[in-house]
A = this chain, B = another copy of it.
Amino acid sequence: MQENVLFDRITLVTPGADGQVTVRQEAWIAVKDGRIACVAPDRTSAEGALEGTDYVLYPGRDRLLLPTFANTHNHMAMSLLRNAADDLALHNWLFDVIFPREEKLDYGLVATGSRLALAEMIRSGTGASADMYFYHEAAIEAALEAGFRLNFSVDAKRPDPSGAAVPDERILSEQIRRWRSEPLLRVSLLVHSVYLYPQAVYPQLAAMAAGQGCTVQIHVAETAREVRECLQQYGRRPAAQLARFGFFQTPTLAAHCVHLDDEERAILARPSVYVAHCPASNLKLGSGMADIVALQEAGATVVLGTDGPASNNNLDMYHDMRLASLLGKGLHRAAALLPAATMLKMATQDGCAALGYADSGLIAAGWQADLQVVRTDSPGFNPPANPVNALLYSAAAADVESLMVAGQWLMYKRALQTLDEEKTRFEAEQAAARLAP
């Protein structure tokens, strides 16, 4: 249920229109009709913005209010495969564990796995996610039920009479038309990677994205093996070859980007191209460490993703945000790199822009009420010091107390409001048993 809310003397932490992160103690924040109505220093001004409507008062003592996180690379329903097999090299993990199970997937299983993933994201401060998986309409069903923002990707290929998969622009355009009026959704074209399709398919997909002006979700340069094989097949590295095929002309979520050269970093620095950095997954699968400092220096915009829950094994943006900062400092042996404010902006404002939610990701009058409330009474937040630093280095998912998207509570005082969590857990357990070989 969407309701008007007045946050009562809460500590506001938000990126601003100028790109700086600011902290305001004892702020009054009014939410009306799904948007921030005002950020005020006193109750009278804040109530004025609510124009006499009914509202709920949310006491802000020992609480921070910040924008929800945007998870820019995910395969939600892989939650069903979580902890089923780990500590395996990517090839064995994929061929021995993941692929045999994924063959059994159907619409219902993907809806169940997506609900489990959404429950976890809501609990850990995330209000918007990308998704790249099978049965995207099942993920949409789960996201709309949850009231969650989803940038889903469409596999716009159809089997031809010989059984080969051929691109069909009508599949994509139909989805764009169908979901155009649903404010929680954004449509992407799914292009798995440079290594999975026949060569002829790529220019067609790139032209389709350009024709529809559609965002592309794609894995780029995740492993050294991908780079080696791409060089063998095409004589170019992955990002360079994808550019040659015609990609990176429309908004792009380029996931991983672990193994790049300077030419590729320049390609990824194009406007509307976002590098979805997934540090936990890249480490866990032994893929390596993306150098996001070099990407930023080249002018690219880096955002954050968890990747799927079977290769992380969390959908906890607090974890990946901290890991991204720690890893960048360690890689360059420079403690000042990737400071707290930069990381918070990356996880909120920049991530929302990457997913196509241009009016979400910061807290100011007129913006979407996509908000998380964080309790500061855990030992990690004490003694009280810089709350931006505490959010990066000390906070945990469990500190998130409440979360709203477009003014609707998805979690209120630790209880999920839109998803039936117990039912979801029960169904996920049944689903995982069905997928096991």
Residues of A within 8 A of B (CB): 79-80, 82-90, 93, 116-117, 119-120, 123, 224, 280, 282-289, 312-316, 323, 326-327, 329-330, 332-340, 377-387, 389-390, 392-394, 396-398, 421, 425, 428-429, 431-433
**Partner pick for A382 among B312, B333, B429, B433, CB 8 A cutoff:** B429
Q: Report Cα–Cα, A123/B313, bound state, in Å.
A: 22
Q: Report Cα–Cα, A145/B74, bound state, in Å.
A: 46
* CB–CB A428/B383 < 8 A: yes
Contacts of A80 in B (CB 8 A): 383
* CB–CB B89/A335 < 8 A: yes
Q: Report Cα–Cα, A383/B432, bound state, in Å.
A: 6
* CB–CB B83/A385 < 8 A: yes
12 A-B residue pairs with CB within 8 Å: A79-B379, A87-B339, A88-B335, A123-B378, A286-B329, A313-B380, A313-B393, A314-B394, A315-B379, A323-B323, A383-B425, A397-B398
- Are A425 and B377 CB-contacts (below 8 A) given A286-B334, A393-B312? yes
* CB–CB B87/A340 < 8 A: yes
Q: Report Cα–Cα, A83/B390, bound state, in Å.
A: 6
- Are A84 and B431 CB-contacts (below 8 A) given A327-B283, A330-B282? no
**Partner pick for A284 among B93, B288, B393, B428, CB 8 A cutoff:** B393
Q: Report Cα–Cα, A108/B397, bound state, in Å.
A: 32
Q: Which of A83, A282, A288, A336 has the most CB of B within 10 A?
A: A83
> Which 4 pairs from chain A and chain B are nearest by CB?
A398-B398, A283-B330, A383-B432, A120-B379
A382 to chain B, nearest CB (A): 5
Q: Which residue of B lies closest to A328 (CB)?
A: B283
Contacts of A93 in B (CB 8 A): 335
Q: With A83-B389, A93-B335, A377-B425 given, can you name 17 additional A-B contacts, CB distance below 8 Å?
A: A80-B383, A83-B386, A87-B337, A89-B336, A123-B379, A224-B333, A283-B327, A283-B329, A284-B393, A286-B333, A286-B336, A288-B330, A289-B330, A313-B394, A316-B380, A383-B428, A384-B432
- Are A333 and B288 CB-contacts (below 8 A) given A120-B380, A380-B313? yes
- Are A83 and B394 CB-contacts (below 8 A) given A119-B379, A425-B377? yes
Q: Report Cα–Cα, A431/B382, bound state, in Å.
A: 11
Contacts of A330 in B (CB 8 A): 282-284, 286-289
Q: Which residue of B lies closest to A289 (CB)?
A: B330
Q: Report Cα–Cα, A396/B397, bound state, in Å.
A: 8
* CB–CB B332/A286 < 8 A: yes
Q: Report Cα–Cα, A336/B86, bound state, in Å.
A: 8
Q: Report Cα–Cα, A49/B327, bound state, in Å.
A: 49
A389 to chain B, nearest CB (A): 4
* CB–CB A82/B385 < 8 A: yes
Q: Report Cα–Cα, A330/B392, bound state, in Å.
A: 22
Q: Which of A313, A384, A387 has the most CB of B within 10 A?
A: A313
* CB–CB A87/B336 < 8 A: yes
Q: Report Cα–Cα, A275/B312, bound state, in Å.
A: 27
- Are A431 and B288 CB-contacts (below 8 A) given A83-B389, A396-B397, A398-B398? no
* CB–CB A82/B286 < 8 A: no
**Partner pick for A383 among B323, B397, B431, CB 8 A cutoff:** B431
- Are A339 and B86 CB-contacts (below 8 A) given A425-B382, A431-B383, A432-B385? yes
A111 to chain B, nearest CB (A): 15
A108 to chain B, nearest CB (A): 15
Q: Report Cα–Cα, A131/B330, bound state, in Å.
A: 25
Q: Report Cα–Cα, A85/B390, bound state, in Å.
A: 10
Q: Report Cα–Cα, A330/B324, bound state, in Å.
A: 13
A340 to chain B, nearest CB (A): 6
A21 to chain B, nearest CB (A): 12
